[in-house]
């Protein structure tokens, strides 16, 4: 059974409490529950990790080299400047899908740039919790060998 | 039954013939067949339109106001400069999902910018034909009222 | 009797249906009727052309060399990038007035730049349908020899 | 009877004496006379103010809050950098039309940017004295309630 | 009694030991003692938190949602790039005042930009320890209802 | 007794009448009265000067060399471009505190830059009239020798 | 016999009528006649296509995959922004030579940049109709196997 | 006898009092006395004007059209942004020499740009009071017909 | 005996496992062993610290004030944005040498800029593990008083 | 008989020895022999000059004023920064054609800019040795009076 | 007797032959004769050096350390990019005056920047041969001790 | 025995005479003597070349193809703009190490960019003469086969 790591970056633990007009009312727990349900359908296992610490996120991503087959990452605001996170993603040699809850292209200008995206397989943004679900499906398709 | 328009921009008719290392070996017809299959699963109908003409794409998108409930668009290279296409997308008042076959963030620098994205619901890129499939699912979720 | 061509670019056919808070509720037909009425007062004839196709707009502008004495143009979003349209305007050797319904200086940043303006006689923006009327008057004054 | 203030900025008192190839041979007095004539036609009263002093222009615009119903302004070179003048225009809460004698889009690059335009109703440039006349008409249309 | 959190970012624990010509000879302890004294005068309680870890700062700011009524923050060098810290500040929904010991406008160019400031209530810089004291007073005024 | 000059730049005389959602409902007179009250507490005398004229502001600041011991300045929109005002501030050799009513970091992009700030002692923004009060306190602390 | 397609972009049909000080007095027909004459010398056949429509140019270039062995293209003003045309050129897998009548390096600044050039074999500009002739010779040399 | 106007901009009245390490210890009066002495040698008359008001400087320069044969101007900090002063200089149709006491190329970056210089005859900077003397000589040579 | 701290930033613990074409096959342990061997030759002691956490790196560098005489640092991707790390380096008052395994000048553009370098003694890049060895020698020379 | 100077800049003497994947295997001698052969056909004489010294290139170009009728120049890397070479080209008053072996538009970004091109007649790049041949033909056409 | 070196850079040997509308009809010999005449008046000796070679100019400037007391330099086009020449000027420790025949502020944009100016005493431009004469006088004043 | 060429660019012959606070008091001869001593230890031979002429430096580097096995280069100010020198370094196909005496990252902004570095093996800066010694060691390690 394929194992997938779902990583969420700074402030995503505040979901549901934080700016609902931008991020909706679902908590991160709600999203993770939806991901688990869809993972069950797809026959893959998922692990979750959230941290406000760039270093902890890097530590966890590095550990995936031994423990997981693919990664879904929502880097939060680290998306826009953390070249260290980018290097971690690039170094693990696993397929990585970047997801965002909101459409980062129509908010503040700094959010339109992702320093992580160039080293990912692909990017999904703007669909709220569904961004995670769609990312899970896309990653599974790749892992299942339907697509190289 | 919800109706969805799938729009493909310049040069996408060359898929399969064109730079397979970047775009894969599937033709646009192959992709459309896969979209139809998934649409059947989801219980929605799909129409397809491809053109190398910016004006024809705008004409077709405008017509969707009366004929469709949502749009999936791969604007091709118009992504990077066609403010006219952007205005067409903004004017129809339908949910629009932007998709790309390749990861536009790790190619030439000009491809990293989308002038269409700010007026779309969301964006999916990097999964080949699966970008269309994931876009279809995401759009259906929105149309089905599961998410606003 | 002087003949004047009134050219409207992409998406202007959607006026009245599209984002009324930005563009008002008048249709392009309403505006053209107002222009005709004012043209009658001024003793000039007017022709109208709208297209979502950059190439069709260029074709029509080129034809004005033989058929008209001056041009009023609202290039829509082509204002911001169509150097081909600019060259068409520059090549016809007729006085051309650029008009915009909205104040393009207080919207998205990309709208503040016109690549067409440098080859026009002048520019009028922000007065809704009145921008066309004022452009007609200004063009007539020039054609009537009151001003070089 | 509606009262309109016509404000002219630095160096416009030199009109007719100054670079006639750019600005024509009319003096500011000539232009004001033409504006008065057109105002009589339109049934509005006009007041004129010209100064080379940014501060005096701001003082006069502020006074319009009590004395006038709308403003036509040719800010001269202050167009390109006077955020103080911009704030004055924004603060009075009256409709303001920005006018320029020459086409500011085809001269030195710094003239293509107006820091005043974003807080005006609209902008007219390139028609010499007629820019003032067209501005007067456009402003009257707004004041007369034909357009909001 | 209103509770206020005072957050100090990376390297501020080195105050008094570090570049005294830029930051003075007071230690962070000295500053905190002065803040406590002034807080006593104002009838508010204060808590302090300093860390060199961006993640720890975010964790602590998030906790303030339940524990404090307002925040004074000196983000240190994170001021200039930590969008994650910015999001934390934006998410807590409390009034936040940004303070700096030195005048960040007359040092290296990168220090002139704060990515935190746009989501704060206001900013005070250049007064050494007094920046904290003034920030405390300003925050109290807001919390006491004298202004908002 | 220490004497302090409080300088307010263009359009600040319009406070209370102008854009209350941005600047509040207090008039400049209200603010000055609050400053006087606080100055009495602190045992310093204050003089006030407001002008819409850059030159008049410079003249007054220069006069402070002989008449005052410190300056509080809200340069209004001159903040963003008046290098002449900057040179005046730099030339007087007195401690100068820059204050702003609103948080200039979260408005139009041009307001985020102050050409005055690099030659001031410090900067306070975002607290409405309290910005002046906090500036007065900060300046008094410096003048009273509590801080160099 | 090698077949070569000669493509001319927007406004080149106006040659001879349009700005003769920039483009000379030859018509596009004159140029094409000269190209035919030289092609006869070189023993290759040539086809011509001119359009003001970006989409039509792309359609025709795509068709060359089956019909021609190489392409000479003068993209006109599309040179400076049409990434769609660039993708068409890149996709056909034929040697393509970009030509310009005028020296695009000493005109308006925007003309100095070609988005097409990076995907062409080479570029010739500044020699009027001779640019086409030289391009034909260069392309023939490549097709004749004298150079890879 | 040729008449020459010597114009000094904002803060130059503070010379000798202001930052002597940058501007030296001479007062503006000292410099003007030196200019008079040299003017006597050269057989020309000189008038002086200093103001901190951009508008007053423009008024005086405009008056030179009738009263003087040439102008020496040290625009002070207006050098770097006053397009209104630039237009005044351009409009008078007299030879104008720009002078600066300090070497504006090796101070703050903003001082390296002069918006006035492009419309002057020439520029002299870095020689303290001697910049004025050298400017006087250069201007006299031009006025005396030794050089066009 | 002089004590030297060798600090390695994010992802350097992955050396040997990560992108061997860029970073070679040596592990960080291999490099540290080589550094120890060379340190023995030079008669200095070395301590090592690696972390993926910016804050932990800052904590350790601060501790060097009391424990070490000099620092060799490979900041990894923090090189390009961590002003907090820069401030830590600047604050310790020890000689610091920045080293990089690869030639950061010929990789992605963002890697060409180091925000740490301006506060270091010098920089060595491009020699793999030898960059550390050369940095050790250079630092020893400075510490041994051979060079100021 | 018309005389033509062929100038080659820095490092072109290394052709054939240097990076054959970029520049091919022909030596500069091979290219010059091909140019001589074609010159014989065309009935013109050619002289050659290569140097790694900017100054020597300028000296030789200046000498062409008396000795040659036109110039073909491959400035090598001086193309991108030598304004001195540009001024030499501009000063001789002869028709000059700029040639490059490789397509400078698809290599490093700095190679896309030529400071020489604006003062040349035209530019040919991307055809290896054929760039020289095509340049010779184009220059001859101009010298032979077939084209102005 | 003070000795002064007058250095002229690339292409200045072409003066009188080259673009007389920009540089006038005087040759460099004419200018040098005028400088000698003025030097005789001032009681100083002058040496001249012109070269098209950056290296030769640097060699000569370095030699001035032993042979001259001050330098007048017209760097020609090297003004805009030769940091090597700048370093030579900075290294000699003599007062250096930069002169230009034309007003470099109103020509091509690249000419407005001097990389030499920041390390000179001052700069004189726009007065043709008189720029050298005024530079000589200014330099003599400095050498004669009238000004530091 | 491996042969190494040590190249020093413009103004480095002035070392010891020139700005000792930046470059120290050692002459280039002193540095070369130290390099010879270290080369003897390492068992390699060294040749030295210094010139103020870009062209002479290129000539010498080209000659190294036949005569040396590796190069150490301090390009002086040519570091920042000489693409011709860069091409010479790239063309020789030898390992090249770039060295600088001072830390080029903390001086004028233009010195932070090296156009040579991308084609070198690595870069060492900030250690005075020791930069050459460390470069020699690093180059020897590569030549000795200890590292590829």
Model confidence over B60-82: pLDDT tens digits? 999 999 899 999 999 999 999 99
Q: Do chains G and F touch (3 or more CB pairs under 8 A)?
A: no
The catalytic site residues of G sit at 23, 100
The pLDDT assigned to B144 comes to 87
- Chain A CB contacts of I11 under 8 Å are 58, 62, 84, 87-88, 91
Query: Using CA atoms, how far apart are residues D64 and D56, in angstroms rounded to an integer?
Result: 13
Find where tokens 């002229």 sit.
K8
- SS3 assignment, position K17: coil
Find where tokens 């509308």 sit.
K21
Query: Using CA atoms, how far apart are residues E68 and E89, in angstroms rounded to an integer?
Result: 13
pLDDT in tens, L64-83: 998 999 999 999 999 999 99
- E-strand spans in chain B? 3-8, 45-50, 70-74, 96-100, 122-125
Pick the closest to residue G131 from G24, G47, G56 (CA basis). Answer: G24
| For residues J113-123, average pLDDT | 97
Contacts of H87 by beta carbon, 8 Å cutoff, 6+ apart? D10, D11, D76, D77
The set of chains that have 3 or more CB pairs under 8 A with D is: C, F, H
Pick the closest to residue J71 from J54, J55, J93, J53 (CA basis). Answer: J93
- E-strand spans in chain C? 3-8, 45-50, 70-74, 96-100, 122-125
Active site residue D81: no
Contact I6, I47 (CB under 8 A): yes
How many angstroms from the chain centroid is the CA of residue D144? 19
The pLDDT assigned to E142 comes to 95
H-type helices in chain I, by residue range? Answer: 20-23, 28-42, 54-67, 83-92, 129-143
Contacts of C14 by beta carbon, 8 Å cutoff, 6+ apart? B62, B91
- Chain G CB contacts of C53 under 8 Å are 53, 55
The pLDDT assigned to G109 comes to 94
Beta bridge partners of K70: K4
Q: How far is I122 from chain L (nearest CA, A)?
A: 4
The pLDDT assigned to K18 comes to 67
Contacts of C58 by beta carbon, 8 Å cutoff, 6+ apart? C84, C85, C88, G10, G11, G52
Mean pLDDT of chain J: 94
Find where tokens 């930033």 sit.
I9
Whether the pTM exceeds 0.90: the reply is yes
| Crossing angle (nearest 10°) for helices A129-143 and A28-42 | 30
If one compares K18 and B41, the residue with the highest pLDDT of the two is B41
If one compares L104 and D146, the residue with the highest pLDDT of the two is L104
Query: Using CA atoms, how far apart are residues K134 and H123, in angstroms rounded to an integer?
Result: 11
Contacts of J46 by beta carbon, 8 Å cutoff, 6+ apart? J3, J4, J5, J6, J35, J36, J39, J136
Q: Record the tokens describing residue C22, joined without a space.
A: 């930005």
Using the Cα atoms of residue B134, residue B136, residue B139 and residue B145 in order, give the sign of their dihedral: negative
Contact D94, D68 (CB under 8 A): yes
pLDDT in tens, J34-88: 999 999 999 999 999 999 999 999 999 999 998 999 999 999 999 999 999 999 9
Query: Using CA atoms, how far apart are residues C28 and C12, in angstroms rounded to an integer?
Result: 7
Burial label, K120 (beta-carbon count in 10 A; 0-12, 13-18, 19+): buried
Residue to substitute from G113, G119, G131, G134, interface J, most J β-carbons within 10 A: G134
pLDDT at residue B22 is higher than 80:
no
Region for A95 from its dihedrals, namely left if φ exceeds 0, alpha if ψ lies in -120 to 50, beta otherwise: beta
The pLDDT assigned to I106 comes to 94
Residue I78 burial (CB count, 10 A):
28
Inter-residue long-range contacts of K109-114, CB under 8 Å, 24+ positions, other chains counted: K110/J83, K110/J115, K110/K80, K111/K79, K111/K80, K112/H113, K113/H112, K113/K80, K114/H105, K114/K75, K114/K79, K114/K80
Contact K120, K96 (CB under 8 A): yes
Region for H24 from its dihedrals, namely left if φ exceeds 0, alpha if ψ lies in -120 to 50, beta otherwise: left
The pLDDT assigned to E21 comes to 77
The set of chains that have 3 or more CB pairs under 8 A with E is: A, F, I
- Chain I CB contacts of L126 under 8 Å are 97, 120-123
Instruction: Report the residue of chain A nearest E118, measured CA to CA.
Output: A108
Query: Using CA atoms, how far apart are residues F6 and F29, in angstroms rounded to an integer?
Result: 12
Contacts of I143 by beta carbon, 8 Å cutoff, 6+ apart? I2, I4, I44, I69, I70, I95
Per-residue tens of pLDDT for chain A, all 148 residues: 999 999 999 999 999 876 777 777 899 999 999 999 999 999 999 999 999 999 999 999 999 998 999 999 999 999 999 999 999 999 999 999 999 999 999 999 999 999 999 999 999 999 999 999 999 999 999 998 754 4
Query: Using CA atoms, how far apart are residues B124 and B105, in angstroms rounded to an integer?
Result: 12
Q: Record the tokens describing residue H113, joined without a space.
A: 């740009």
pLDDT in tens, H7-65: 999 999 999 876 777 777 899 999 999 999 999 999 999 999 999 999 999 999 999 99
Using alpha carbons only, give the angle E33, E37, E39 rounded to the nearest 5 degrees: 110
pLDDT in tens, K70-127: 999 999 999 999 999 999 999 999 999 999 999 999 999 999 999 999 999 999 999 9
Residues of chain E with pLDDT under 70: 18, 146-148
- SS3 assignment, position J126: coil
Contact D125, D138 (CB under 8 A): no
If one compares B16 and H127, the residue with the highest pLDDT of the two is H127
The pLDDT assigned to H25 comes to 84
Query: Using CA atoms, how far apart are residues L86 and L141, in angstroms rounded to an integer?
Result: 23
Per-residue pLDDT band for C148 (boundaries 50, 70, 90) equals very low
Across the interface, which of L122, L126, L137 has its CB nearest the CB of I126? Answer: L122
Using the Cα atoms of residue E38, residue E41, residue E42 and residue E43 in order, give the sign of their dihedral: positive
Size of interface D-F (CB pairs under 8 A): 54
Size of interface E-F (CB pairs under 8 A): 88
Contact A119, A92 (CB under 8 A): no
pLDDT in tens, C54-109: 999 999 999 999 899 999 999 999 999 999 999 999 999 999 999 999 999 999 99
Alpha carbon distances (Å) from H88 to D12, D85, H116: 10, 19, 10
- Chain A CB contacts of E59 under 8 Å are 52
Residue I144 burial (CB count, 10 A):
12
pLDDT in tens, D41-55: 999 999 999 999 999
The DSSP symbol for K16 reads T
pLDDT in tens, C42-51: 999 999 999 9
- Chain I CB contacts of A86 under 8 Å are 77
K2-28 burial code (b ≥16 CB/10 A, e <16):
bebbbbbbbbbbbbebbeeeebbebbb
Burial label, I72 (beta-carbon count in 10 A; 0-12, 13-18, 19+): buried
Residue J66 burial (CB count, 10 A):
7
Contact F47, F62 (CB under 8 A): no
Find where tokens 């007054």 sit.
F60
Query: Using CA atoms, how far apart are residues F121 and B130, in angstroms rounded to an integer?
Result: 59
Kindly give the pairing relationship between strand B122-125 and strand A122-125: antiparallel
The pLDDT assigned to F147 comes to 45
The pLDDT assigned to L145 comes to 79
Put simply, whether C115 touches G (Cβ < 8 Å) is: yes
The DSSP symbol for G143 reads H
State phi, psi for B64 to the nearest 5 degrees: -65, -20
Q: How far is G74 from chain B (nearest CA, A)?
A: 19
Beta bridge partners of D125: C123, D100
Residues of chain D with pLDDT under 70: 18, 146-148
ipTM of the complex, rounded to two decimals = 0.94
Q: Give the percent of chain B with pLDDT over 70.
A: 97
Burial label, G27 (beta-carbon count in 10 A; 0-12, 13-18, 19+): middle
The pLDDT assigned to D18 comes to 67
pLDDT in tens, G75-115: 999 999 999 999 999 999 999 999 999 999 999 999 999 99
Q: Give the percent of chain G with pLDDT over 70.
A: 97
Mean pLDDT of chain K: 94
Q: How far is C38 from chain G (nearest CA, A)?
A: 32
The pLDDT assigned to I126 comes to 97
Find the distance separating the first CA and the last CA of chain K, reported in whole Å.
Answer: 19
Q: What is the largest CA-CA distance in chain C?
A: 41
């Amino acid at each position: 059974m394929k194992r997938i790591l779902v990583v969420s970056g700074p402030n995503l633990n505040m979901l549901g409490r934080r700016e609902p007009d931008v991020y909706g009312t679902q908590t991160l727990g709600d999203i993770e529950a939806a991901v688990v349900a869809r993972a069950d359908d797809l026959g893959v296992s998922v692990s979750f990790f959230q941290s406000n610490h760039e270093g902890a996120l890097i530590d966890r991503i590095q550990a995936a080299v031994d423990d997981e087959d693919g990664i879904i990452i929502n880097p939060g605001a680290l998306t826009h400047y953390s070249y260290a996170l980018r290097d971690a993603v690039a170094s693990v040699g696993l397929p990585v899908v970047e997801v965002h809850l909101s459409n980062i292209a129509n908010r503040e200008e700094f959010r339109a740039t992702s320093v992580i995206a160039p080293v990912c397989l692909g990017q999904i943004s703007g669909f709220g919790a569904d961004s995670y679900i769609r990312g899970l499906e896309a990653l599974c398709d790749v892992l299942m060998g339907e697509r190289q």
